Amino acid sequence: MEPAIEIRRLVEIMPASGRMMTKIVNKPEQATVINSPFPLPWNQQRLIYINFDLWRRLSQPQRDLLLLRTVSWLLRIKWLKPDIYQGVAIAGLIGATIELVQQDAVGVLVAGGLSVIAINRIWRNNRSTQLEIAADEAAIQIAQRRNYIEAEAAEYLLSAIESVAKLEKRPSLTFVELIRCQNLRAIAGLSAVSVPESLQ
């Protein structure tokens, strides 16, 4: 497999927003098949690293779904979106600044504490199981626009997750991967048991 040709093919199947925000990089030295560092607010471009020596061992539908899932995950991580936690974080930072100017140590601690709590909540939301499941479901929706059937796309992504663990020589799937697999089995019609809402 020629990495440059495969990268062009993968860029073609990405949604337009993915093409603008992400970049695929060949990284043969990494132990993982596909990896993308958690994007921080100041990172404009989100990188996707692929070890093409391992990547070529997956079937094309598995590769397609794995890439679409990674792109969907990256696009779902939003640091600047209007919600209560963003508001509290900004208000806390402004309050801490005002209290600092007024040299009120207690005020700085209270306002700063509010900001830290809100930023921690934003961080946790961006790394939640719900986000992982939502990224899988978004990838399946994009795949349907690329001529995949929903159940078929879920099966390909499910088999890709399991194949990647084997290629990376991991003894087992992670807890989050197991939850994702159960959700994908339900979407594919392979299981009547869906993921409980408390875990979504």
Which of 93, 126, 159 is the endpoint of a domain?
A: 126
CA separation for the pair 69, 128 (Å, rounded): 15
Which residues neighbour 121 within 8 Å (Cβ) at sequence distance 6 or greater?
85
Whether residue 117 is found in the same domain as residue 46? no
Whether residue 120 is found in the same domain as residue 135? no
Whether residue 101 is found in the same domain as residue 135? no
How many domains does one find in the chain? 2
The label of the residue with tokens 């909540």 reads 121
Selected residue with higher pLDDT from 192 and 146? 146
pTM: 0.79
pLDDT tens for each residue of 59-111: 999 999 999 999 999 988 775 655 565 666 667 777 777 877 887 777 777 77
Closest CA to 32 of 10, 50, 59: 50
Band of residue 120 on the pLDDT scale cut at 50, 70, 90: low
Whether residue 105 is found in the same domain as residue 183? no
Whether residue 145 is found in the same domain as residue 190? yes
Contact 142, 15 (CB under 8 A): yes
Whether residue 118 is found in the same domain as residue 142? no
CA separation for the pair 78, 11 (Å, rounded): 22
Whether residue 108 is found in the same domain as residue 165? no
Whether residue 56 is found in the same domain as residue 135? yes
Which of 126, 153, 188 is the endpoint of a domain?
A: 126
Domain region containing 56: 3-78+128-199
Contact 22, 13 (CB under 8 A): no
Whether residue 62 is found in the same domain as residue 30? yes
Q: How far apart are the first and last CA of the chain?
A: 37
User: Is 47 buried (19+), middle (13-18) or exposed (0-12) by CB count in 10 A?
Assistant: middle
pLDDT tens for each residue of 8-26: 999 999 999 889 889 999 9
Whether residue 15 is found in the same domain as residue 111? no
